Amino acid sequence: MKNNCVFCAIAAGEIPCFKVHEDDLVLAYLDINPFTEGHTLVIPKTHTTGLLDTPPDVLGEIVKRVQKIAARLKTALPCDGFNILQNNGPAAGQTVPHLHFHIVPRLGSNTAADISFVNHAGDMDSLKTLAARLAF
């Protein structure tokens, strides 16, 4: 447990939550400020900050849980689809520095526009150059 980490405190039962699922590795509970009905957070019980400091094998196991919990939400809620969101760092909007996956159930058709990522048409030459620079 990391000092002053609110999600560690929730995992330890020191702060209450509306639990959706728990096993040896993860805890899933409703986000206190839901974006949609059923907005759920999935956290590992052991503290890591985000994607990059979590051991890959552990991350794989967490993602399997995310899949299972998303499937449960999709059948148990009115839910036509869902978004998975995982923020890393304040620049990306991460406010709680304990790894977590958001599962955001969506209702209706093409409500993705409600999420405020602003897209713009890509320039093909720039995309080609960038992909070549990033490829490994």
Q: Are the beta carbons of 83 and 52 closer than 8 angstroms? A: no
Minimum CB distance to Zn ion, residue 49 (Å):
8
CA dihedral 91, 96, 102, 108 (to 10 degrees): -70
- Enumerate binding residues for Zn ion (CB under 5 A): 2, 5, 7-8, 47, 98
Among ligand 5GP, Zn ion, none, residue 47 binds (CB under 5-8 Å by kind): Zn ion
Residue 4 lies near ligand 5GP (rule: CB under 6 A) = no
Angle at 49 between CA 20 and CA 34, to 5 degrees: 40
89: left (phi over 0), alpha (psi -120 to 50) or beta: left
Residue 99 lies near ligand 5GP (rule: CB under 6 A) = no
Q: Are the beta carbons of 42 and 26 closer than 8 angstroms? A: yes
Residue 112 lies near ligand 5GP (rule: CB under 6 A) = no
Minimum CB distance to ligand 5GP, residue 123 (Å):
30
Among Zn ion, ligand 5GP, none, residue 2 binds (CB under 5-8 Å by kind): Zn ion
Give the list of residues 6+ apart from residue 46 with CB closer than 8 angstroms, or none: 58
69 is written with which tokens? Answer: 């919990």
Q: Are the beta carbons of 96 and 33 closer than 8 angstroms? A: no
Q: Which of the residues 39, 47, 98, 100 is marked catalytic?
A: 100
100 assigned to active site? yes
What is the x/- site pattern for ligand 5GP, positions 11-50, by CB under 6 A?
Answer: ----x-x-----------xxxxx-------x---------
Catalogue the active-site residues: 100
Contacts with ligand 5GP, residue ranges (CB under 6 A): 6, 15, 17, 29-33, 41, 87, 93-96
